[in-house]
Amino acid sequence: MAISQAVLATVFGILGNIISFFVCLAPIPTFVRIYKRKSSEGYQSIPYVISLFSAMLWMYYAMIKKDAMMLITINSFAFVIQIVYISLYFFYAPKKEKTLTVKFVLFVDVFGFGAIFVLTYFLIHANKRVHVLGYICMVFALSVFLAPLGIIRKVIKTKSAEFMPFGLSFFLTLSAVMWFFYGLLLKDMNIALPNVLGFIFGVLQMILFLIYKKPGTKVLEPPGIKLQDISEHVVDVVRLSTMVCNSQMRTLVPQDSADMEATIDIDEKIKGDIEKIKDDNEAFLISKN
């Protein structure tokens, strides 16, 4: 029994939705880190603003086209999740980054998309609307797929793949394959063609990762600093200072009987001070616990 193109297109569309769903969730660890540290840590909001614009553009195209429901489902989710990402970034970003984020959102997502909507919906005849909008979506998608060229150049130049996560490259490549066949089965080159480029760059990134990866390299988080550790280091410093002072005193002070007694008195006094510091430190830790 032959399977129709419509059924195959639906299957590839569902697979594309599933893979793209997890790709959309890829930035979650970044925003968990931002939330825990209460700071945007120098990250930029541009990728999320562009992703929001892409989701809006493809949703609009799918609604005009009327037979691309799979595009509507995944881009609706992408639209919501990108708004969440941008909101979290805006909340924890410094004042300068907040201002830049507002400017990007207004310029790209409001005025940019608004201009495309007015141009295609009001100034272009309905018979040509879907074609013009499809060309706009295709050009934008091609430009987005060209973005990895910067990372590829950096990997080749530094001979290190630490800037290129293999997992994300793999799933982006797999996603490009699914959406290519989805567009091909729908006979929509505006969907299929950009994903050819996405597939090529995805495979290239994975090859470069395998060539330049450095086994055993890990990104380590700085260890936490505990109050008890600080207290112990303070005591150690006092001990070290005392030892140095004692050695210097014994070297510089003439060693007659009177001086020896004075040196012993100084040593006893220093020892008493050390014991007092220890007792105060122990009492502080006990009261803290």
Question: In the chain, what are the domain boundaries?
Answer: 5-222, 254-287
Three-state secondary-structure class, residue 68:
coil
Three-state secondary-structure class, residue 217:
coil
The pLDDT value recorded for residue 41 is 75
The pLDDT value recorded for residue 225 is 37
Q: By the 8 A CB rule, do 160 and 179 touch? A: no
> Half-sphere exposure (CA, 13 Å, Cβ side) for 154?
9
Question: Can you give the pLDDT of all 289 residues of the chain as single tens digits?
Answer: 567 888 999 999 999 999 999 999 988 988 998 899 888 877 888 889 999 999 999 999 999 988 889 999 999 999 999 999 999 999 999 999 999 999 999 999 999 999 999 999 998 888 889 999 999 999 888 888 777 777 788 888 888 877 677 888 888 899 999 999 999 999 999 999 999 988 998 898 889 888 888 765 444 333 333 333 333 333 343 343 434 344 443 433 444 444 444 544 555 555 566 565 656 555 544 554 4
The pLDDT value recorded for residue 101 is 93
The pLDDT value recorded for residue 271 is 58
Q: What is the pTM of this model?
A: 0.69
- The residue among 182, 181, 169, 170 whose CA lies nearest residue 72 is 182
- The residue among 168, 202, 195, 199 whose CA lies nearest residue 180 is 195
Q: By the 8 A CB rule, do 205 and 152 touch? A: yes
The pLDDT value recorded for residue 11 is 94
CA–CA dist 64, 185 (Å, integer): 19
DSSP states of 216-274 as a string? T--PPPPPPP-HHHHHHHHHHHHHHHHHHHHHHHHHHS--SHHHHHHHHHHHHHHHHHH
CA–CA dist 279, 273 (Å, integer): 10
The amino acid occupying position 155 is V
Which residue in this structure is represented by tokens 């799933």? 171
Q: By the 8 A CB rule, do 196 and 178 touch? A: no
Fold of 5-222: Monooxygenase (1.20.1280)
